[in-house]
Amino acid sequence: MEIKKPIQPFSFNHAKINKMDSNEKLNSAEQAKLWSTYMGNTMAICVLSYMLHHVEDQEIKIVVENALSLSEQFVKTIKEIFVQENYPIPQGFTEEDVNVGAPRLFEDPFYLHYLKYVSKAGISLYGIAVPLMIRSDIQTFFTKCVDSTMKLVNQVNEVSIAKGLIAKPAFTPYPSHVDFIKKQTYLNGFFGEVRPLQALEITHLYDNIENNATSRAVLIGFSQVAQSEQVRAYFLRGKEIVAKHYDICSQVLQKEDVSSPPILDTLVTTSTVPPFSDKLMMFHKLDMFSMRIRTYGNALAVSARHDIAAKYGRFLLEVGNYVEDGANILIEHGWLEQPPQAADREALASK
């Protein structure tokens, strides 16, 4: 299938974002979201610069260029805000954390899967930020972040569909009429009469399977190129976790004769030359697994069947433990930059 229209580049217009509340300092929510966005996008600049160095498919290349342009503009705007506020600029990630000349670690089609994977995380981060922002310039910035990232993910989907790289969620029959739940057996999952999956449960199972398939491929690649044995072992453990979660969710769909998104392992090359620092790769997976806690929580909230809800509960516990262990590794190596925090009043009082 051919792409119906040429893939166009687009950019984030940061020039229109001006400080409107001249006497208003950044509050805790604004500091936190700007800091998180800066950290995530300096990391993305490293990853996308490497991908852009290797991509050969011209349509995929334009999408990667668009993603890189957005990350660069986000970082530029936040840096301008911090300078204006006399706020310390985070170190984040730099050219020292990437070797764009390292051999290809992923095939071109994987870049689309990856961009969808990280765009979901970005939309979640920026979307939650918007209603919490008080200063109009910061609110405008995050609104533009949401809008630009939505345009990017729509472009990713468009190219993925045209190239046959996307598995569509299952179709469910249209209801013949409006109905209401009449029995508590609707919630059954372990015993008694168990109903078919409802559409929201299918949706979140599909989403989590898709996320775990992409995460597994990333972890395979990272485990091949990690320099530290401790870091490599952490990635291999993560691969086992996401593989198990992928299988469990897929089996639930298969029992209902619903297909699952495929695994992407074949899109990882055999390269063992590291394109990224261990620090960057550890932060990347810690960040994305932390986001997985949110996606599992969202899925748990709309899964009425007890058996599905119980699975997400176990997933949350397992991922939470994994994230904590990852944070300990980052702290041990001096790689975990400290986010903005409240004043330690007791320490101040003791001086």
Q: 50-71 pLDDT, tens per residue?
A: 999 999 999 999 999 999 999 9
CATH number at residue 268: 1.20.1260.10
In this predicted structure, the answer to whether residue 16 has a pLDDT above a threshold of 60 is no
In a domain, 221, yes or no: yes
In a domain, 338, yes or no: no
Q: Which two tokens stand for residue 147?
A: 């809008």
Shared domain for 201 and 80, answered yes or no, is: no
Shared domain for 86 and 215, answered yes or no, is: no
Shared domain for 81 and 154, answered yes or no, is: yes
DSSP state of 15: T
Cα(29)–Cα(207) distance, integer angstroms:
28
Number of structural domains, the chain? 2
Phi and psi angles of residue 117, each rounded to the nearest 5 degrees, phi first: -60, -50
Residue in the block written with tokens 């993925």: 160
Shared domain for 80 and 205, answered yes or no, is: no
Pair 42, 152: CB distance under 8 Å: no
Q: Which two tokens stand for residue 236?
A: 């291999």
- Average pLDDT value over all residues in the chain: 90
Residues 6+ apart with CB under 8 A from 255: none
Shared domain for 191 and 326, answered yes or no, is: yes
- The 10 Å CB-count burial string (b at 16+, else e) for 86-119 is ebeebebbeeebbbeebebbbbbbbbbbbbbbbb
In a domain, 9, yes or no: no
Domain boundary among 162, 195, 227: 162
**Mean of pLDDT values over 24-29:** 93
Shared domain for 134 and 211, answered yes or no, is: no
Read off the pLDDT of residues 159-218 as tens digits, 9 standing for 90 and up: 999 999 887 787 888 888 887 877 777 677 666 677 888 899 999 999 999 999 999 999
Shared domain for 207 and 90, answered yes or no, is: no
In a domain, 66, yes or no: yes
In a domain, 339, yes or no: no
Question: Of all helices (H) and strands (E), which one includes residue 305?
Answer: none
Domain boundary among 123, 147, 162: 162
Please name the residue ranges forming H helices in 130-198: 136-162
CA 152 to chain centre: 14
Read off the pLDDT of residues 332-348 as tens digits, 9 standing for 90 and up: 999 999 988 876 666 65
Q: Give me the sign of the Cα torsion angle 54, 59, 60, 66.
A: positive
Read off the pLDDT of residues 111-146 as tens digits, 9 standing for 90 and up: 999 999 999 999 999 999 999 999 999 999 999 999
Shared domain for 38 and 140, answered yes or no, is: yes
Q: Give DSSP secondary structure letters for 279-298.
A: HHHHHHHHHHHHHHHHHHHH
Q: Which of 182-191, 286-295, 321-330 has the lowest mean pLDDT?
A: 182-191
Q: Give DSSP secondary structure letters for 79-115.
A: HHHHHHTT-PPP----GGGB-TTSPP-B-HHHHHHHH
Shared domain for 117 and 193, answered yes or no, is: no
Q: Which two tokens stand for residue 16?
A: 């229109």
In a domain, 136, yes or no: yes
Cα(289)–Cα(296) distance, integer angstroms:
10
In a domain, 67, yes or no: yes
Pair 209, 261: CB distance under 8 Å: yes
In a domain, 134, yes or no: yes
Domain of 91, in residue numbers: 28-162
